[in-house]
A and B are shown apart, each in its own frame.
Chain A
Amino acid sequence: MHIRTPITLITGPLGSGKTTLLRHILATKAAKIAIVMNEFGEIAIDTKVIDGKNVRIAELGGGCVCCSLLGEFEAAVKEIIEKIDPDIIVVETTGVAEPEALAFNIQEALPQCRTDGIVSVADADGLVRFPEIGHTTGLQFESADILLLNKIDLVDRHQIEPLETKLREINPTAAIVRTERCQIDPELLFGIGRERKVAPPEYKHQPEFESFTFSSDKTFSHDSFERFADGLPASVHRAKGFVLFPDGAQLFNFVAGRWDLEPFETDRTDLVFIGKEIAAQKPAILRALDACAHPDNK
């Protein structure tokens, strides 16, 4: 079964830290990543540049590539998949893009891909200095699954919470993560995709984040699992992994209350849960998962 290539969109106003985040992802994420610059991006490119029809491709370290868009976005993504077949595509959108429109494009025009998530970088210092959130910036924050409240080291400690409240008003569902220089555990940003080919990633803790895993070789009931996913507590920001159902396995992807399932090839259930102080909820979540096992099961 073909797995659709996940696309992650990175948005945020000029100077908020999008490029820093990209550099950080490349340095810390063990995967073959293709970065698509919707504009001519800022990542230093000192390697061989290949001019494709729709993209200009530059090889980066670790098998990753950086592509500048020359043609239509859709054509460029197709070309990248054909030529490079990355595990993950990360798109850096412009400071002025409406990210939801792009996500909609992916859904409509790129059946070989799925939007994995929209990550928006907010700059705490900028939010303090410029009291109003601009129109375009507002659209970017609104559509995010994960909002990085970046540059918190540049503002007073007591200013951070009001900023979170402000972001929460614009986007009540996104996971808001405080960062300095975009230092975020990349596991919080991405779905699992093809990572199962490599060893399960070692989870490094984001300061206030905790995680736990669940594994099983039982099959699960669809209905029970969906109810379980709907009922996950708000403290769970992120959950992902594979779930074995009677009719085959599915890739489960949960971000801040929103989730989806799609076909995936595996023979086990493996899930990871990430959230703020969720150790307390761990027993209840594991119990609830056990209860999802299909009745016909051993």
Chain B
Amino acid sequence: MAIINDMRKISDTVWELPTNYKDGMRVPARIIATEKLVREMDKAVYQQISNVATLPGITRYALCMPDGHSGYGFPIGGVAAMDVHEGGVISPGGIGFDINCGMRLVITNLTVDDVQPRLKEIVDLLFQRVPAGVGSHGFLKISRDEFREIVEQGARWCVEHDYGSDEDLEVTEENGCISGADAAKISDRAIDRGHNQVGTLGSGNHYLEVQIARPEDVRDKELAAKFGITIPNQIVIMFHCGSRGFGHQVATDYLQVFLKVMESKYGIKVLDRELACAPFESPEGRDYFAAMKCGLNMSFANRQVILHRIREVFSEVFGRSAEDLGMRMIYDVAHNTAKLEKHDIDGKERKLLVHRKGATRAFGPGHEEVAPRYRDIGQPVIIGGSMETGSYLLVGTSSGAETFFSTAHGSGRTMSRTKARKQWHGKQLQRDLEARGIYIRSNSWAGLAEEAGAAYKDIDEVIEATELAGISKPVARFTPIGNVKG
């Protein structure tokens, strides 16, 4: 492939497009991946990551994680840190439409032997209680005014309304509520779209899985034990969802604002309109930052309510309380965000707006923003594979500074949704998976086909690349047995 020839190999897991690759690049673009994964990436990733390198204020590198693939403007798997004191910009394309799409992981004290006989009952009930699909509504009746509170208070609102405990908040990124969210900065249309979607999975690649931690898949026993993964074939629950139509509307609203002012008011020229942006330190940039934080909080709240439903379902099926079933949340990570963080750049501390789109923050041990419970081992990282293959729990490492402490978020698509739909038939896929011991419920067979395992990169390879690159360290791998597909 010709493209890889344009790249400089920095190490086995770092590939660089130098600044002379394209006019206007302010910094080199780097892909963190093994050679095999780099070769498998679609060509548009190189274009996109080098486009990102032209954005004002970008610091050190425009980065792409091992699971990268092309997305709206930025690649999914893109990481870009902008120096807000140097005219750094904020770009919705660098955060994604599904603001704070993220993962949550819950452990139980049940084993596969406890769960297997009642798996269908559990999955069917989860499918009922956690609504999935494009326009799904939650069971929570929330007024528009209450929704405004939720987007400012996040998961904290849920805990105050008995959907969870303070302990859940302690293990949620930002404690489930990012400060600075301002409901005055969001449109009525965004409220319209979001207010009845709290407690819903949504569609696309969003899912809720019942998984097993097989003893042979526990990579680091000591770390696993710290997370409470101690029983052979222990059952865990993992789910992936975001801010639904709300986040989408916020992103759309501000993309339109930015397209209007970017060039005329701020003189910023971008190569692709999907990179629409504004200086972080501008009224428009600040407004979007405050609105985007509402998306973050909506998503934390959404996952908190879903967690509550999962606990209800398990305690109903087993006739025991969630505490008794050991249903403790391990962590909640955000994938699609931009956060102001302090990073050490060449010995100097700088305040950077770190865009992570389809990338997970992965602070190493000792970092002040890691939940106290995990500060000595590093921030938990939850990486979901495709519904057929498996998922991982990892921890951040001290050696992750090169990627602004960011790592992969999933296995990454290898083909478009359209192509996947043409290749697989959802209903048949469901039967095949059931034959392999994975019970699936879905609203949309076509949507299921989009998520076929073979439409994704090999999750094990992605994880290996993050480990080789020193940006995260695997703790345990989980195998799905039940899946509610959004």
- Identify 22 residue pairs between A and B in the complex whose beta-carbon atoms are under 8 Å apart, listed by A's number: A14-B259, A15-B259, A39-B193, A39-B245, A39-B248, A71-B133, A95-B252, A96-B97, A98-B416, A98-B417, A98-B418, A101-B418, A101-B446, A104-B421, A104-B446, A109-B445, A132-B272, A134-B72, A134-B273, A135-B70, A135-B71, A143-B418
The residue in B97, B249, B272 that gathers the most chain A C-beta atoms within 10 A of its C-beta is: B272
Which B residues touch A135, using CB under 8 A?
44, 48, 70-73, 274
* A134–B276 CA distance with the chains assembled, in angstroms: 11
Task: Say how far B146's CB is from chain A's closest CB, in angstroms.
Answer: 19
Interface residues as binary, B37-54 with A (CB distance below 8 Å gives 1, 0 otherwise): 000000010011001000
Residues of chain B within 8 A (CB-CB) of A72 are 133-135, 443-444
Which of A13, A69, A105, A137 is in CB contact (< 8 Å) with B446?
A105
Query: Quick one: which of B409-451 are within 8 Å of A by CB?
Result: 416-418, 421-422, 443-446, 450
B223 at the interface (CB under 8 A from A): no
A94 and B245 alpha carbons, distance in the complex (Å): 12
Given contacts A54-B135, A132-B51, A135-B71, contact A14 B271 (CB under 8 A): no
A132-B47, A134-B73 known, 14 other contacts, Cβ within 8 Å: A39-B248, A40-B192, A54-B135, A71-B134, A73-B134, A94-B248, A95-B252, A96-B97, A98-B417, A104-B418, A126-B273, A130-B271, A131-B271, A136-B72
Q: How far is the CA of A128 from the CA of B294 in the complex (A)?
A: 34
CB-CB under 8 A for A40 and B249, given A72-B444, A101-B421, A134-B73: yes
Instruction: Enumerate chain A residues within 8 angstroms of B259, measured Cβ to Cβ.
Output: 14-15
Is B256 touching A15 in the complex (CB atoms < 8 A)? yes
- Checking A14, A71, A100, A109 against B418 with a beta-carbon cut-off of 8 angstroms, the contacting residue is A100
For A133, the chain B residues whose CB sits under 8 A away are 272
A203 to B450, CA, bound (A): 42
Q: A13-B273, A135-B71, A135-B73 are in contact. Are A71 and B192 (CB under 8 A)?
A: no
Would you call the interface of chain B mostly helix, strand, loop, or mixed? Answer: helix
Q: With a CB–CB cut-off of 8 A, which chain B residues contact A170?
A: none
Q: Give the residue name and chain of the B residue nearest to A69 (CB).
A: B135
Contacting residue for A109 out of B133, B270, B446, CB 8 A: B446
Q: Give bound CA distance, A126 to B189, whole Å.
A: 26
From 168 to 186 in chain A, residues with beta carbon under 8 angstroms from any chain B beta carbon are: none
Do the beta carbons of A129 and B263 come within 8 Å of each other?
Answer: yes
B353 at the interface (CB under 8 A from A): no
Which residue of chain A has its CB nearest to the CB of B418? A100
Contact between B273 and A139, CB atoms less than 8 A apart: no
Contact A70 B47 (CB under 8 A): no
Contact B417 A137 (CB under 8 A): no
B446 A70 Cβ-Cβ under 8 A? no
Residues of A within 8 A of B (CB): 13-15, 39-40, 54, 69-73, 76, 94-96, 98, 100-101, 104-105, 108-109, 126, 129-139, 143
Contact B97 A104 (CB under 8 A): no
CB-CB under 8 A from B71, the residues of chain A are 135-136
C-alpha spacing A39/B248, complex, angstroms: 9
Residue numbers in B under 8 Å from A14 (CB-CB): 252, 255-256, 259, 273
Secondary structure class of chain A's binding surface, majority of residues: loop
Chain B's interface size range is: 35 or more
A132 to B51 alpha-carbon distance, docked (Å) = 9
Contacts of A39 in B (CB 8 A): 193, 245, 248-249, 252
Residues in B233-282 with C-beta less than 8 Å from chain A: 245, 248-249, 252, 255-256, 259, 263, 269-275
Chain B residues with Cβ under 8 A from A130's Cβ?
A: 270-273
For the complex of A and B, the 7 pairs showing the least CB-CB separation, nearest first, are A134-B274, A100-B418, A130-B273, A132-B272, A71-B135, A135-B70, A132-B271
Question: Which residue on B lies nearest to A102, using beta carbons?
Answer: B418
* Closest residue of B by beta carbon distance from A76: B135
Closest to B416 in A: A98
Cα A101 to Cα B450 in complex, Å, equals: 9
CB distance from B192 to the nearest CB of A (A): 6
Report B59-100 CB contacts with A as 1/0, cut-off 8 Å. 000000000001111000000000000000000000001000
What are the residues of chain B within 8 A of A126 when measuring CB–CB?
273
Residue from A100, A134, A139 with most neighbouring chain B CB atoms (10 Å): A134
Chain A neighbourhood of B248, CB < 8 A: 39, 94
A149 to B450, CA, bound (A): 31
Give min CB distance, A205 to chain B, whole Å.
33
Query: In whole angstroms, how far apart are the Cα atoms of A144 and B457 in the complex?
Result: 29
Distance in Å from the Cβ of A12 to the closest Cβ of chain B? 11
A84 to chain B minimum Cβ distance, whole angstroms, is: 18
Q: How far is B202's CA from A203's CA once the two chains are assembled, in angstroms?
A: 45
Within 8 A of A (CB), among B19-53: 44, 47-48, 51
Please name all residues of chain B whose beta carbon is closer than 8 Å to the beta carbon of A40 when the two chains form the complex.
189, 192-193, 249
